[in-house]
Each structure stands twice: as C-alpha cells, then as structure tokens.
Structure 1
Amino acid sequence: MDFSLLYFVNRETVDASREYQLLFDTAEFADRNGFTAVWLPERHFHPFGGAYPNPALAAAALAARTRRVRLRAGSVVVPLHDPLSVVEDWSFVDNVSRGRVDLALATGWNPDDFALAPERYATRREYTFEALDEIKDLWAGKKVKRRNGLGEEVELSTYPRPVQPEPRLWFTCSSNPESFEEAGARGLNVLTALLFQSTDELAASIASYRAARERNGHDPATGVVTLMLHTFVGESDAVAKELVRGPFTDYLLSSIDLWKTRWSDLGRSHPGRLAKVAFERYFHRAALFGSVERCTAFARDLRAAGVDEIASLVDFGVADSDVLSMLPRLDEVRLNLRTAAAGTRS
C-alpha cells in the first residue's frame, strides 16, 4: 500500500508569513521518507479549504522544494476551467518538477464555486468528461479548436510542452457507485473518501470499479484506488483522541454550511450534536486516528477492501508542531504495511 499526504486546511489567515509553512515542512518530510505523493485541492470562496484556490500554484511551490515525491492535483474542478488553462498550468509544474505531475479530476458540487462558470453547473458532469478528452489531447501535443477575440475559429496548442508524454489521471468519487463504474470504464484511477460511505460500501464500489475496467478492456489490476483519510497517529489511542477531538470537531463544524447544499438532512440537525456524533464515527471507523498499532490494523483492513493508497489529510487543525512530530509514527504505519506485504510475497 502506498501512502501520501493530502491538504484541506480550514483557517482564516492570521499569520500570512507562516500560512503555508506546514505544507512545506510536511511535503519535504514526504519527499525525504519515501511517501508516494502530495495532493493539493482546489477550493474557492470559503475558509474551509480556501487556502488552495489553485492546486497548480501550490504544486509549483513544492516542485522547487522537493525532488522525488509526486505532485498531484487533488482535485482540479474541471468545469471551472478551460482544458487549455488546465494543461498550461500543469505542464509548467511538470517542467519545474521534471515530470512528477499527476491529476485528479472532479466535477465539483458547491454552487458558489460556480460563480466562476455558472453556465456549467447544471451540466458539470458531462463537461468534465468532454474536457477529459481535450486534456489528454492537449497534453499529447494535439490542437483544439476555439474562437479567438475576432470571432475566428483557430487551432491552438499549449506551451510549455510537458515532460511526461501523458499524465496519470484520477477521477474523484464521493460515494456514488456509478461514479466508480464510470472511472473504471474510462480506465481512470479513483480518489475517494469515507465521508459518506462505510468501508463495506467502499469495498463494494471498488469491486464494481474493477469489474467495469475489465468489461471495457482495461487491466482490472492496474487501476489505483486512493482513499483520503484524516490522519493523526498518536503515542497511544487515548493521546491521539485527546489531541484531535477539539481541532477536528471545530473542523467538522466549519464545513457544515457547505455540505448543507448537498445533503439537506444536515440542516435539520443541531450542529454541535452532529459534530459530536461525527467525531466518534470518524475516530472509530472513518479516519486514521490512534496509535501506530490501531492505524496499522485499520490500514490492513482497507487494503483487504481493495484500497491501494492512503492519502493522509494532515492539516485539519492540530498544532503544527504536533503534526510534525506525528509524521514519523505515520511512517511507521507505512513501513508496517510494506513489511507485511513483503512477507506475504515471500
């Protein structure tokens, strides 16, 4: 199982000079210690995740600070962009990083984000898959047709040319089994989470994904399923729970007004009680919280369910110093999984 880091900070800027220091420090740790990738999100107009309005900008900053770790969009909200700008931005990062870019593509869901492209909200899913083909073509050096400022039809290529001949692509799925099947049918990898699905439901969706790959001529064993998990590996279960309870509860509360637009049941629940129940759910079965032993056991269960990679969300509000001191324990979990896999192969 691969391990990577993922970011979705919630905070108002209180110290601009240190706003991204945790990102830099944790990414450099990942780069030095054999983690597979770092994932950068796209968020707009809200403090929940809003430190990352363009993942390519964050990836470009990390490209100059790292040497081997993959730099991944997690995710580009495709309907908010023209494929031309997606490929231009990420080709630049591919050059600076010497070919370390991967892309996860998302349809988007928050209506306010679509202030950038209101005409695409209703057809955002269809637009995403149409744009996917253009992104592939542009990355490969092909031209696409557009109308210029004079109303003339022109054929355009993007520059700079990327280092990699083609990017590895993920499709971001929430809990809809049909999305997993669509990703499988198109030969895409999957980026998902346990926000609104159980481990058993995820295992069923992964099975559907593998079957869809096979039905459509793709090797069912080669698609990568990456699972985002909020992560804090503590010295013990009790220490971890105590450290994350306050920050993570605040983190959950900060996002409720966003999720109401998609899950109307949230609006009928008292926020404090909802956050308390959600915290217990996450701690026991939907996050990588606890001791090295507990987190290793959960990761093994996820691997048995079909997960290929854990993307650890580390910037949900725990003090930066505690996050940094946690990282060697997360690395222990990663190495435990690697040792177990090596033992199975032998």
Structure 2
Amino acid sequence: MHRTYSMRQSRAPTASQIQNPPPPSSSTKASRMFGKTSIGHSLRKSVHPGAFGPELSKKLAQLVKMEKNVMRSMELVGRERMEVAQQLSIWGEACDDDVSDVTDKLGVLIYEIGELEDQFVDRYDQYRVTIKSIRNIEASVQPSRDRKQKITDQIAQLKYKEPQSPKIVVLEQELVRAEAESLVAEAQLSNITREKLKAAFTYQFDALREHSEKMAIIAGYGKHLLELVDDTPVTPGETRNAYDGYEASKAIIQDCEDALTNWVEQNAKVQSKLSTRTRTLSQRRRARGHEEGVDLSGQDQGMDNRQSWIPASEHHGGQEYEDDDDEVDHDDDNKERGREEERVAA
C-alpha cells in the first residue's frame, strides 16, 4: 500500500489564507540554519532574560525572550509530531489490513497537526514582535527620563553646596526643556503601548482560535477513522471478516481536508458569548463628557486585514537597542544536530 504522510500533495491556499494572507515565516526559524532545538535555547532559560538593556524596558524584554523560548518549543513539538506520524504509519504497515489502513490515515492526520503547529508559530511570532515593538519604545523613552533625573540631581546638589551659583538658573531652564521632551516621549509611550498591546493579543487570540478549531476538526475525523477498526473479540482460530474500508478511509481524509480548507473565522463553532450582566458592566465611558460608552459585546472579532503583517526585521516601535534576543545560535545548533544524529544511530 502507498504510505502517505501529508494530507495535501499540492498546497493550494485555504479559504482562511485567501481571506487573511499568512504572515512571514517566524523570526525564530529564520535565525537558525538547522532543525531541532538548540543548546542556546536551553541556556537562555537559565539566564535572567531581562539582565541587559535600558532599565525601563527590562521587564518587557524578559517577556519577549520567554516568548521566544515558547516558540522554539512549539517548533520542536511540530517537528516531532510529524516524526511520530511517520513512525505510526511505518508500524501499522505490518499489521492486519484494517489496522494498517487506519494507522496510515491516522498518520496523515497527525502529520497535518504538526504542519498546523508550524503555521501557528508564524502567527504567534506576529504577537511577539508586536510586543517587542513596545519594548523598543520603552527603551527609547529611557534616555529622556535619565536626562531629566540627572539635571534634577545636579540642581539639588548645587542648591546644597552653592545656593547662589548662576548655574542653577541655567540648569533649571534645561530641566524645563527636558520635562517638555519627556512629556512628549511619555505620551507616545502611553499611546503606542495601548495600540500595540491590543494588536499583539488580537494576533495571538486569532491564531489560537484558528489553530484550536482546526485541531478539533482533525480530532473529530480521527475518531471517525477509528470506527473502521473491527474490535470485536475473536476466538483462537477464528478469522475476521475481510476489511473493506479503504474507500471509506480515503473519503474521511478527503472530508477532513475539505473541512480544513474551507474553514474561515466567521464559521467558528466556539463563540464567546457575554452574559447580560457582563454586557451591562462592559458599558464604560472612555472619558468624561462622552455620550456613548464602550460596548464590549462586539469584541469577539478577528483582525480583518492581514495585509498589516510585518516581518520581524521591519517591525520597529522605536529605537532598537542591541541585545541577544536575535542572536543566531549556529554553533549550538551544530552541536545539537550531532547529538541528535548520535541518538538516532544508537
């Protein structure tokens, strides 16, 4: 029997991809030459992620690095699911006809889950790089805070040591200018933080919804496949009925492919409905004097325009500062690849 490991031999765009074009490949994939997880990934877990960079952005820098580790773990899960799918099909090849056919088709479904994991990582990266842009803005605001604090300290020191010093007047004028610059920077930070926070988690939640719904679709068709296995107990020497489910198993796989291909967010089965009490509580005034409140009852909407996908390399929210977030772990990947080859050979 021909063993298949992928559901679709030719990857035509799905309805969801046509409606919302997919994002660029994840920055974690682009920064590594080889497969498998890297030793650098493990080392980063043991190093405090926010140890470097401007003080203001350290906490968010820690979050960004932790999310990068999460993404690399998800990449590994996706690859290993594909390997599991292949091994399941290989094992079933030597079994009875019904088990052989069903495990082959189950391998197809599990392989598809691995590919969905890979697609999910790309969408998850859009969340991460958007959060990262907030970190960059925070880093750009830090110098204005430092300058204002430095001038304030100089004035205090002069007033203590030389109360009549003419430098005090000059420094106070500089302080006024520094405070004005700081106000602009802080306002920009406040505005961009809110904008990017909402965009980032909309990316994540939209990706989670699509991923979860498609996983549920695969799980449902997987259970249909299991019905083709005859689990009626037999006595020693008794022969089972000949298996005639080949066409049925192919049809189930085709139905699953059609369901995944035609899935769009508007047809999502799971909907988050707000209770009457929650709808009432969600009515909030954005600012004093506004006639209308903020109705959250329509919040369960995805981002309609995926033309806004931005490659991580171009996703700047302010002045980028140097850190080890985007280092390429080629040496570590080489070492890990060698270990993996030794493990397989053993």
Name the structure with the higher helix share. Answer: 2
TM-score, normalised by the number of residues in structure 1: 0.21
* Structure showing greater Rg: 2
TM-score, normalised by the number of residues in structure 2: 0.21
| Structure with larger RCO (C-alpha < 8 A, sep 6+) | 2
Name the structure with the higher strand share. Answer: 1
